[in-house]
Amino acid sequence: MPTNSDCIFCKIVAGELPARIVREDERTIAFMDIAPATYGHTLVIPRSHSRDLLEIEQADLQAVAHAGQLVAQRAKERLGADGVNLINSCGAAAWQTVFHFHLHVIPRYSDDPLRLPWVPAQGDPDEIATAAAQLIG
């Protein structure tokens, strides 16, 4: 199982740093975020080190997604969350600060202070078509 000795999340996997683990299996660990956005904010990581979404192996990505779904269900059932955000940041420009793939499971409550980081507005149809053409295939 690949690890990175400088990675804080690898140190949690190895038991070298403490974490409040809420779920684990052979591929993943889910633990409480120490800087939570909302009550119950949890991180789900693969045990194997992968820098980001572009490097993670498919089996680990599937395992993290499944674990994230289970934690989200618990947040709804046990914490009374009204909704859940699943967030992954890939790269510094996308707000990634720990370079070990992770999924934020953020329980949402109707009265919590979080808001979208952008204001949804109608996009330019030509730009949308151009981007779509570049992404096809």
Cα(29)–Cα(12) distance, rounded to whole angstroms? 9
Domain assignment present for residue 36? The answer is yes
Residue whose C-alpha is closest to residue 55's, from 5, 8, 17, 99? 99
Domain assignment present for residue 123? The answer is no
Structural domain harbouring 95: 8-112
- Which pLDDT value is given to residue 121? 92
- Which pLDDT value is given to residue 1? 66
Domain assignment present for residue 133? The answer is no
Domain assignment present for residue 100? The answer is yes
Cα(72)–Cα(42) distance, rounded to whole angstroms? 9
Q: Which two tokens stand for residue 124?
A: 């330019």
Domain assignment present for residue 70? The answer is yes
- Which pLDDT value is given to residue 5? 81
CATH number at residue 74: 3.30.428.10
Radius of gyration of the CA atoms of the chain, in A: 17
Domain assignment present for residue 68? The answer is yes
- Which pLDDT value is given to residue 49? 97
Domain assignment present for residue 127? The answer is no
Domain assignment present for residue 122? The answer is no
**Mean pLDDT per 10-residue segment, the chain (137 residues):** 85 97 98 98 98 98 98 98 98 96 98 90 95 94
Active-site amino acid positions: 102
Cα(44)–Cα(28) distance, rounded to whole angstroms? 7
Cα(56)–Cα(48) distance, rounded to whole angstroms? 9
- Which pLDDT value is given to residue 118? 86
Number of compact structural domains in the chain:
1
pTM: 0.93
**Residue 24, H or E segment:** strand 21-24
